[in-house]
């Protein structure tokens, strides 16, 4: 039997990881959250993990307040401690106890300007290049793409990736984006975009009875239960260690997402596409941060996953 330690077990993803691994009798699941461990305390991490001796450690704990850590220096320090340094402590403890480490990162480690791929064999004298006929490039960032975050949250998560890579070889870094699902248990838990937009759609603002949604940010939604299952598949199959991109299929904008949500939920409120500049926020968001997965079977589309979420 494998002993698996899930940290951040009350978070949006953590709860689903606990459920998913508990269903399999081959795993003994130990679920920890903030009251059981503070991952920013190096000695505490080393002592508690040394005592527990897990075979697998999954770190789903994180600092996710993207705007707060852009405008407030103390918050940025906290983000660097939780997202940046703590994964290094977990990696060192995992290595010492011969465990493997699964850690999550984000599409915000990229700057939003992906390189446009060319077909294999293209000589770049494209006026005479027939290879482009019918070639549909998958535009986005693959697992090896150059990282270059444009906000503090992204910088803190990139530091976490580097600390993991520096401290252990047996790691899976799973980058994901725009997570949705059952909110985390803690009192300050962020609700996911779909929950917020459902409420707004049912009670639209009095002025105009329409909802505005940003149309110039593109990424992929990820349903937390799907990500948890895919994580288990990677661990079970003993996939090669390294970086993975896991998202539901089909990039979209926030605007397209609200239109689909209201269609599925039969909400009649009108949705108006607007530029991100209509909602000024402290942290810049990448314009196009679609994660391209070249290593795993793709997951179902976000629209199907949304259907399941709404049913629940």
Residues that bind ligand NAP (CB under 6 A): 8, 10-14, 33-34, 37-40, 60-62, 64, 82, 104, 106, 157, 176-179, 184, 186, 188-189
Neighbours of 208 (CB within 10 A): 10
Handedness of CA 183, 186, 190, 196 (dihedral sign): positive
Min dist CB 115 to ligand NAP, Å, is: 22
Encode 270-309: b = buried (16+ Cβ within 10 Å), e = exposed.
ebebeebeeeeeebbbbebbbbbbeeeeebeebbebbeeb
Residue 28 contacts residue 4 (beta carbons within 8 Å)? yes
| DSSP strand pairing (100-106 vs 171-176) | parallel
What is the number of other CB atoms lying within 10 angstroms of the CB of residue 312?
7
Supply the minimum distance, in Å, between the C-beta of residue 256 and ligand NAP.
17
The encoded tokens of residue 228 equal 């948890």
Phi–psi pair at 28, nearest 5 degrees: -100, 115
Q: Which is nearer to ligand NAP, 44 or 199 (CB)?
A: 44
Nearer to ligand NAP, 64 or 99 (CB): 64
Q: Give dist(CA 54, CA 30) in Å, integer.
A: 9
- 215: helix, coil or strand? coil
CB of 38 to ligand NAP, least distance (A): 5
Min dist. Cβ of residue 68 to ligand NAP (A): 12
Minimum distance, C-beta of residue 236 to ligand NAP, in the bound complex (Å): 20
- Is the Cβ of residue 8 or residue 286 nearer to ligand NAP in the bound state? 8
Residue (205 or 282) nearer to ligand NAP, CB = 282
Closest approach of ligand NAP to the CB of residue 142, in Å: 17
Please say which residue, 31 or 271, places its beta carbon nearer to ligand NAP. Answer: 31
Judged by CB, which is closer to ligand NAP: 41, or 269?
Answer: 41
Find the residue with minimal CB distance to ligand NAP. Answer: 11
């Amino acid at each position: 039997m494998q002993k698996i330690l899930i940290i951040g077990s009350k978070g949006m993803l953590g709860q689903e990881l606990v459920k998913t691994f508990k269903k399999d009798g081959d795993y003994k699941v130990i679920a920890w959250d903030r009251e059981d461990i503070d991952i920013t305390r190096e000695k505490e991490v080393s002592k508690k993990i040394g005592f527990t001796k897990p075979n697998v450690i999954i770190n789903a704990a994180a600092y996710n307040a993207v705007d707060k850590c852009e405008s407030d220096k103390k918050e940025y320090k906290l983000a660097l401690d939780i997202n940046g340094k703590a994964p290094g402590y977990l990696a060192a403890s995992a290595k010492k106890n011969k465990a493997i480490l699964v850690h999550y990162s984000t599409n915000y480690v990229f700057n939003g300007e992906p390189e446009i791929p060319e077909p294999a064999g293209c000589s770049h004298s494209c006026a005479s290049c027939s290879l482009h006929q019918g070639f549909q490039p998958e535009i986005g960032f693959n697992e090896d793409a150059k990282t270059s975050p444009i906000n503090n949250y992204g910088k803190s998560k990139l530091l976490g990736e580097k600390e993991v890579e520096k401290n252990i070889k047996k790691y899976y870094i799973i980058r994901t984006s725009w997570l949705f699902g059952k909110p985390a248990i803690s009192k300050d838990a962020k609700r996911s975009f779909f929950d917020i937009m459902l409420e707004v759609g049912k009670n639209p603002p009095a002025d105009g009875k329409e909802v505005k949604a940003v149309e110039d940010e593109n990424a992929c939604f990820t349903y937390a239960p799907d990500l948890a299952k895919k994580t288990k598949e990677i661990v079970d199959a003993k996939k090669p260690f390294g970086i993975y991109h896991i998202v539901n299929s089909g990039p979209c904008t926030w605007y397209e997402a609200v239109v689909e949500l209201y269609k599925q939920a039969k909400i009649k409120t009108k949705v108006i596409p607007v530029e991100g500049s209509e909602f000024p926020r402290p942290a810049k968001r990448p314009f196009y941060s679609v994660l391209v997965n070249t290593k795993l079977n793709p997951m179902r589309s976000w629209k199907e996953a949304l259907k399941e979420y709404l049913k629940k």
